A and B are shown apart, each in its own frame.
Chain A
């Protein structure tokens, strides 16, 4: 009797997990499947077709889409590289600050992370317009650096705290100069944190919509992928060619994430 109840419970549990998972992935899968239908009505009345994909290249908005893609990547690369450099260096600095100062800096470092994105966005907008920062790329890259760097700091700091202090001091004792010890001992130990900080900063910047939307400036005409989609798709209903664009984005993002996590996935399989 008990056993049958357990099996029932297990079946129910698995069904529940599968159901929620299906719900989360349903919109993504539906869009991918019906990107081959050539219409936005979710029906294969026209049969299987690549029309939506061809439309990406033939539509008038191709140039706009490509420039949005270019802007997104340029901003993400520049701001994530800057954030990684700034964040890693300052993590080393923050780690050696006195306790009181370190607490204060860490608290301020938390603000952009815990704060709601819309408030970060408008506060930066007021700031940029008050001090007349040049519109466009400058504002966007600075704002992206300002919300990405805290994450880099947070991913490097724990490694510093966990690191054996003696290793660094041993290097000094053995006659290494502080500079050499920094590059040969300290930095190699921080690489995992720096890399994950960089990935984090890059994805955050790529993914950002709110801060970009509010700080891009009306006159500059600079659009990133997300703001471009927002401007185009929210007004009209979504045209079939967006199905194709979304599908490409879904596949690219999910593949990249799986690749980035393949080590982790393997590890959990081994267990």
Chain B
């Protein structure tokens, strides 16, 4: 039976470790909440990685890696849109624009970025398709997995720690009344400012993450930093369900509910 399961049971790091140890050849397909990732391996080494279908072509990767400027990128899209990645690579090398090393390094960097992104995925189904490799027209690399696995393990520990600190994203944030830090001396990054601009007890942390396009890990990391700096604290979201839910009491009558609490108070006082 093919290897398949849920990321809740096997993390991406654990899967990479298994593929590395068993020197597997094939493609790991991970269906995340929003996108599908495909990561190909040859003899336990990373060969190719992409998330979704878009932005995975060589021209796009070289452009985002600043090896092609906008006009070069547009020209390639217009004139060489029909050529595959291998042919495009050869064209660029033969034309003297780039070296083979430039192209391979750019691809490696991109694939490693994909794997790093996958480390933040905690929900999703995976399957390993034995012996399935990316199409022949795509350029493959040959990258050892050890360093990525170490990086993934480190990130996993950080993730666990952040989950301990901020167990639920369904809570809101509010600024502390007496912040422990002197605000004048606080230097916030652009991402932190983006989060800060949404802080109000009306917004849940999950809503702030959505508005700022951050994943669970990124938002937890920033919120944790702001809490540690004494700038914000976690609070119940405004407009949340009332503190006393109907299922807490055997009766819906508020008068009877109060009487019930008073009976409990009297009984415990008398013990």
- Do A and B make up one complex? no
Binding site for A on B (CB under 8 A): none
